[in-house]
Structure 1
Amino acid sequence: MLELIDKKRSGSYYTKPEIVSLILDLVGYTIDKPLFNQSLLEPSTGAGAFLVEAVDRLLDSTEHHHGKEVFSNDKKIFSILSKAITSIEIDSNKYSTLCDNFKKLLCNRGLSDNVSEKLVKEWVINENFLLWNKPVVQRYNYIVGNPPYIRIENVEDGLEKKYRNLYKTLFDRADIYVAFIEHSLELLDSGGKLNFICTDRFTKNQYGKKIRNFINDNFRVLHFMDIHNSQPFVEEVSAYPCIFTIENAQRGAGRTLRMDCVTNSYLDTAKNYLLYGKQPTTGDVETHKIDEWFKGTDPWIVNGKNAQLILNKLEKEHPVITDAPHFIHVGIGVATGAKDVYVINPNKIDIEPDILLPVVTKDDIAKGIIEWRGYYVINPYLEDGSLVSLDDYPKLKKHLIKHEELLKSRSTAKSNPTKWYKTIDRIFPERLEQQKLLIPDIKSKNLIVKDKGEYYPEHSLYYVTAGSWDIDALQAILVSSVVKFFIWSYATKMRGDYLRYQAQYLKKIRLPSDVSENDVYNLKRLHQEKDFVGIDHIAQRLFNLSDEELLIIQDLVQ
C-alpha cells in the first residue's frame, strides 16, 4: 500500500513488458538494425521496464552484427555501446537501484564487471528531465516511455514557474506529462520516432490544446492506439491510456486503432495493423486510416475521416451555444472546498434558515428527474459579496468553528486568512430562481434534467440556462444524438466509454438558428413522449444532415 501511495505521488505507474515490447516495435527499435549506431532515450525510467527490453535488444543487435566475442573486449564494447542509450531518473533511490540492476544485467550477458559499471554510469543519469538538456545539445533517434502523471498545481511553486517558462505547452491546468512530450519532441533527431504510453486527456481537452498544436503543426503522427478501457500497467489504475508514435517528419497519413484488450494476441493484431496495414480479423478491434492528421488545436477525433468531416460541417454552419442568437449561459455548481461542512441537512444541523439555499447534487438527479433529498448549501455571503459577520449568526458560528481547522487548511482560506470561512466560489442566490438544465459531469447517456428554478446546483453538476430558447425545447435538442456527437468529439472518455460533460465541452456545442414554433412544439412533445428517434430526425433536419451522416453519428455515440 505504501509503495502504491508513493507511486501516485510521483506519478509513476509501471508498464507491462508486453506493452513495452510493442512500443519498441512501433518505433522500429528492432535487433535487425545496428542499434549500437543509433541512440535511444528513456526520459522517466522508473523501475526500468523500457530500459530492460531496450538493453536486451541493443545487446542482441550487437551480438548479431559483431559476434558474441565482442562482449569480452572491454575497450571495443564500451566504444560501441557508450552512446547508444540515455536513461533519465529523477529519484536518487531509484537511480541507485537501476544502476545496480543494470550492471548485473550486463554482467549476465558476458560483459566484464568493469565495463558494465562504466556503461551504466554513461547510460543512466540522475537528473530532472524537464531541466536536463536545455537548451538542446543532444538529439535521439528513438524516444520511448511512460511519462509521469502529476498535475502542475501539485508541483512545488518554484518548479511550477520554471516549468511554465520553459514549456509553452503547459497550458491551463496541464499535467506534467505534457511537458515531457514537448521536451522529448524537441530532442528527436530528423526522422526520429517517439512512442509514449500515457493518458489520452491531452487529445481533446482544454489543457491539451497547445501540445496538440505543437504536434499537429510540426510532426507526423504515425500511430494512435485508444486503449482507455484496458489495463496496460502492472498495477490497476484509472489512467485512460493511449499509445502513440510521432515522427520528426512532414505531416502525413496516420493509422488509428481502438481495442479494449491488451493480451499478446491483441497486441500482435495492433502491431500488424499499425505497422503493415493488415486489417484485424476480429470484430472488436476498430481501425481507421487518417489521410491528413489534424491541424492547429483541433481535437484528435481518431475514429475516422467521416466523423471529422461531419464535425467540420456542423462547426461551419451553426453557431456555438453561448453566441448569438442563442445566448445560453453554461456554468458549474458551487465549489465549497468542504462539502461536508457547507452542504447540510437542517434536520441534523441547526443553522439560521435565512442563509440556507436548497441545493441539488448529481445524486438527486440520478433517475432523470429531481428527487431532492433535503440538503441545503450554506451561503456565507451578503449581497455585495462580502462575508456575513459570524457574530450575527451564532448557530453558523458554532458550526464553522467546529470545523475551523479543516476550513483554514483549504487553499482559498490560506490565501485569505481573515476570510477563512468563505467558499471557493461565491454564491449568487439569484441563480436559485433561474430555470436551468442540470447535467452531471460523468455519464454514459445524455442525462439532462430540468430545474424549474427551485435549487442551487452543487459542484458535481453543470448547468445551462435557456437563453433565447424555450427551455423544454432546449432540453429535447440537447439529448439528441447530434448534440451528443459534439461532446463525443471534444470530450475525453472515461473507462466504460463514459463521457465528461464539462463546461469547456458544453460551450463548444453548436445549435441550429432557424427553429420554427412548430419545431419547438414537436421537440417538447417528443421529449415528453421519450421518443428519442423522433428527436433525432428533427435534429437531423435542423442541422442539415443527410441520412447517412445521421447514421454515422448514431453509430458513434450509441
Structure 2
Amino acid sequence: MFRPINGEDMTMIELDQKKRSGSYYTKPEIVSLILDILGYTSEKPLFEYSLLEPATGEGAFLVQVVERLIESYKRYHVVNTLFSNQDYSFHLLRNAICSIEVDSLKYEKLRKNIFETLNKYNIPQTLITRLLDQWLISTDFLRWNKPVVQTFDFVVGNPPYIRIENLNNIDDKHYRRVYPTLYDRADIYIAFIEHGLEMLSNKGVLSYICTDRFTKNRYGKEIRRYINGNYHVVHFVDIHNTQPFVDQVSAYPCIFTLQKGSEGISRTLKLNALSAKQLENARSYLLKGEEIVDQDFSSHTLKNWFIGSDPWVLNGERARELLHKIEQSYPLITEAPHNIHVGIGVATGANDIYLVKPNEVDLESDILLPIVTKDDIKTGQVDWSGKYVINPYKNDGSLVDLEKYPKLMKYLNMHQERLKARSTAKNSPSKWYKTIDRIYPERLSIPKLLIPDIKSKNLVVLDSGQYYPEHSLYYLTAGSWDIQALQALLSCSIVKFFIWSYATKMRGDYLRYQAQYLKKIRLPTDISIDEIDLLKMYYHSGNLEGIEKLAQKLYSLTDDEMNDIRDLVN
C-alpha cells in the first residue's frame, strides 16, 4: 500500500531530488477531493472508462484510482467469481488506466505500490502482473502519444513544476517546437496541461493540482488562450493559504477541472483550510452548487468565463463588473495622455559582488552608482544603506576595458570563478564580468516612484532622482503627471484593486507588484490643478481617507462601488 512520505524521516537528499524533479506528493485527502470532482467515483462502471495520469510518481493518485476501479468492478460483478476468469477480467480492465512515469526509480516504486494495492483484493498475481505491464509505462509524457492517437475519458494528476530553462537544450527546443503554449518563460507544467487536454475524449474531463501562476502572468498567455478557446472551466479552487502537499512547499497551488466545450457555469472557490469539514463543504459547492457560509470558504459562480488570453480574474461577478466599468472609461497608465514608463531595476546575477560600499572596497569612483533596494524603502521613504552598484558598461553599452580600471580588474578577478559560473557569463564567455541587465546611468537622475515586488498593500516611495533601482524594485516615471500627485493616487484602494485583480496572490494574501500588473493600472484623465494640489496635500499630511474620497470622484464611482472595492481589497 502506498505510504505518504513523512517529512520527519525524509533525508535532505530526497528533498533535493524532489526539488530538481519538480515533484511533490499530494496528500491523500486532496487526491480524494480531486477524484470526486473529476467524477471518477466507484458508483460508475469505471472499467468502461479510460483514465490517464501523467507524471505518476510513486502512486499518490494512482493508488486511489486503482482502489476506486476495483471497487467499481466488484459492484458490477458477482463477487465469488470476480477474478476466476483472468482473461475476462484482463479484457475488461486493460484499458481502464494508463500511467506515465519517466523516472526509473519512481517507476519501480510505483509498480510495487500498485502491486500491493491490487494484492489486497486477492487478485491472482499473474493477473496483477499482466495489468501492471499494460497500465504502467515508463517514458517521457511530453514525447508520448504525440501526435495524439489515443484519447481518454479522464486525465488527472499533479504535473511537475520545472522551469524550462532548467531543462537541457535538446528537450527545451523540442518541447517549445511541439507545444505552442510554452510561451515566454513558461514552466514545464504548461505543456502537461496542453498535452493532457488534447488527449481528452469528446466528453473527457481533466483535473490537475498545480501552481496557479499561469492564470494571470505573462507566460500563461498562450495556455489561457488555448483553454478559453476550446474548453470549459468547470471548477477552479484557490488553495494558496493551505498545504495540500506532504512536504512544506510554497507552490501557490490551485485545483482546476476542465472539460471539452465552452458552455456552462464555472464554480470558483477559495479554501483557507483543508479540514474534513472544509473538504466536504468544497464537494457540496463544487458538485451540487450548495452555498456554504464559512469564514474559511469563499465561492463564486461565473456565468461567463474569460476570452482569449485574458487573465483569469477569479474574484466573483461583482469584481469583474467593477473592473470592466473602470477599464472601459480610462486609459492604461502607459498610454496617452499619461505616458508613464514602468520598469524594473537592474539584475546583476551576484548582488553580493556588484553591490558595494566604497569605504569597504577600493574601486574607481566613476564606475559606481548609488543603488536603492527594497530594504532601503521599508519605512515609506528612502533610507539609503550607502551601497553602490558597479557599472561595468560604457555609455554605448559595451563593457569597460578592465586594463583601464586596475582596481576594478583586481576586484573582479578575485570573484572571477563565481562570475563566470553565472548563466549570463556562460552565454557570453568574453563578457564574463557583465551584469545580467545593462545599466543606463541616465536613469539615475530621473525622478521616479519605487515599488517593491511583494507587498500586502500599496507602497509607493518617491526618489527625486538620486538612486539607481535594484532588481527587487519596480519604478514608474512621471510621464505627464506631477510625480507627487501620482504617488498619492497610486496609494488608493482603486489602484490596489487593479493589482488585486490581475496579480498572482501569494501565501498570506501578499500581492506581486510586477511590471506586467502595474501596466494594467488605468488612470483618470480630467484632473484639475486644484485636484492635483489636493492629492499632494492629502498625501503629505497622511490623510489617506481624503485621497480615497478624491480618487472615488476622479474615477466617477458611486459610494456603493467604492465600498465594494475597499471591501474586496482590504
What TM-score do you get using the length of structure 1 for normalisation?
A: 0.99
1:439 matched residue in structure 2: 451
> Cα offset for 1:251?
2.2
Give the Cα separation in 2 of the matches to 1:122 and 1:137. 17
> Cα offset for 1:261?
0.6
> Cα offset for 1:521?
0.6
Give the Cα separation in 2 of the matches to 1:27 and 1:548. 39
> Cα offset for 1:369?
1.0
2:532 matched residue in structure 1: 520
1:375 aligns with 2:390: no
Matches within 5 A, 1:196-211: 196-211=208-223
Give the Cα separation in 2 of the matches to 1:252 and 1:209. 22
Worse-matched range after superposition: 456-465 or 349-358: 349-358
Give the Cα separation in 2 of the matches to 1:388 and 1:172. 31
1:289 matched residue in structure 2: 301
Matches within 5 A, 1:409-488: 409-488=421-500
Give the Cα separation in 1 of the matches to 2:558 and 2:54. 48
Residues 13 and 234, structure 1, Cα contact 8 Å, conserved in 2? yes
Residues 55 and 101, structure 2, Cα contact 8 Å, conserved in 1? yes
Residues 59 and 113, structure 2, Cα contact 8 Å, conserved in 1? no
1:75 aligns with 2:67: no
2:147 matched residue in structure 1: 135
Residues 228 and 494, structure 1, Cα contact 8 Å, conserved in 2? yes
2:24 matched residue in structure 1: 13
1:56 aligns with 2:67: yes
SS in 2 for 1:518: helix
In angstroms, what is the RMSD of aligned CA positions? 1.0
> Cα offset for 1:243?
0.7
SS in 2 for 1:289: strand
Matches within 5 A, 1:283-362: 283-362=295-374
> Cα offset for 1:101?
2.2
Give the Cα separation in 1 of the matches to 2:229 and 2:557. 30
Give the Cα separation in 2 of the matches to 1:48 and 1:257. 27
Match for 1:56: what amino acid?
E
Worse-matched range after superposition: 56-65 or 520-529: 520-529
Give the Cα separation in 1 of the matches to 2:25 and 2:51. 19
Which of 5, 15, 20 is the aligned partner of 1:4?
Answer: 15
Give the Cα separation in 2 of the matches to 1:27 and 1:306. 28
Matches within 5 A, 1:77-116: 77-116=89-128
- Residues 87-118 of structure 1 show CA distances to partners (whole Å, capped at 9, x for unaligned) of 11010111122112212221221111111001
Residues 74 and 111, structure 1, Cα contact 8 Å, conserved in 2? no
1:22 aligns with 2:33: yes
Give the Cα separation in 1 of the matches to 2:274 and 2:556. 40
Match for 1:44: what amino acid?
A
Give the Cα separation in 2 of the matches to 1:51 and 1:339. 45
Residues 345 and 468, structure 2, Cα contact 8 Å, conserved in 1? yes
> Cα offset for 1:73?
2.3
SS in 1 for 2:384: coil
> Cα offset for 1:72?
3.0
Which of 13, 26, 31 is the aligned partner of 2:42?
Answer: 31
> Cα offset for 1:552?
1.5
Structure 2, unaligned stretches of length 5 or more? 1-11
Give the Cα separation in 2 of the matches to 1:216 and 1:158. 30
- Residues 130-180 of structure 1 show CA distances to partners (whole Å, capped at 9, x for unaligned) of 111111111111111111001111111111111111111111111111111
Match for 1:37: what amino acid?
E
- Residues 300-325 of structure 1 show CA distances to partners (whole Å, capped at 9, x for unaligned) of 11111111111112222111111110
- Residues 470-504 of structure 1 show CA distances to partners (whole Å, capped at 9, x for unaligned) of 00000011111111111111110111110001111
Residues 228 and 262, structure 2, Cα contact 8 Å, conserved in 1? no
SS in 1 for 2:76: helix
**Paired-residue identity, %:** 59
Match for 1:211: what amino acid?
I
Give the Cα separation in 2 of the matches to 1:518 and 1:379. 42
> Cα offset for 1:386?
1.6
- Residues 328-359 of structure 1 show CA distances to partners (whole Å, capped at 9, x for unaligned) of 11110011111111001112111111111110
Give the Cα separation in 2 of the matches to 1:514 and 1:67. 78
Match for 1:399: what amino acid?
Y
Worse-matched range after superposition: 529-538 or 56-65: 529-538
Give the Cα separation in 1 of the matches to 2:72 and 2:366. 77
> Cα offset for 1:531?
1.9
> Cα offset for 1:440?
0.5
Give the Cα separation in 1 of the matches to 2:88 and 2:428. 65
Match for 1:57: what amino acid?
R
> Cα offset for 1:67?
2.7
Matches within 5 A, 1:189-268: 189-268=201-280
Residues 63 and 113, structure 2, Cα contact 8 Å, conserved in 1? no
2:166 matched residue in structure 1: 154
Residues 198 and 243, structure 1, Cα contact 8 Å, conserved in 2? yes
1:389 matched residue in structure 2: 401
> Cα offset for 1:10?
0.4
Give the Cα separation in 1 of the matches to 2:240 and 2:513. 17
1:363 aligns with 2:351: no
1:47 aligns with 2:58: yes
SS in 2 for 1:349: coil
Residues 226 and 241, structure 1, Cα contact 8 Å, conserved in 2? yes
> Cα offset for 1:415?
1.9
1:277 aligns with 2:320: no
Worse-matched range after superposition: 277-286 or 328-337: 277-286
1:554 aligns with 2:533: no
SS in 2 for 1:321: coil
Give the Cα separation in 1 of the matches to 2:366 and 2:90. 78
Match for 1:455: what amino acid?
Y
Residues 72 and 111, structure 1, Cα contact 8 Å, conserved in 2? no
Give the Cα separation in 2 of the matches to 1:105 and 1:246. 29
- Residues 34-53 of structure 1 show CA distances to partners (whole Å, capped at 9, x for unaligned) of 00000111111012111000
> Cα offset for 1:71?
2.2
Residues 315 and 501, structure 2, Cα contact 8 Å, conserved in 1? no
Residues 218 and 251, structure 1, Cα contact 8 Å, conserved in 2? no
> Cα offset for 1:549?
1.6
Give the Cα separation in 1 of the matches to 2:394 and 2:461. 30
Give the Cα separation in 2 of the matches to 1:313 and 1:466. 25
1:508 aligns with 2:520: yes
Match for 2:487: what amino acid?
Q
Give the Cα separation in 2 of the matches to 1:100 and 1:161. 35
> Cα offset for 1:533?
2.0
What TM-score do you get using the length of structure 2 for normalisation?
A: 0.97
Give the Cα separation in 1 of the matches to 2:388 and 2:74. 72
Structure 1, unaligned stretches of length 5 or more? none
Match for 1:254: what amino acid?
S
1:119 aligns with 2:128: no
Worse-matched range after superposition: 335-344 or 70-79: 70-79
1:184 matched residue in structure 2: 196
- Residues 369-406 of structure 1 show CA distances to partners (whole Å, capped at 9, x for unaligned) of 11111100011111112211112111111110000011
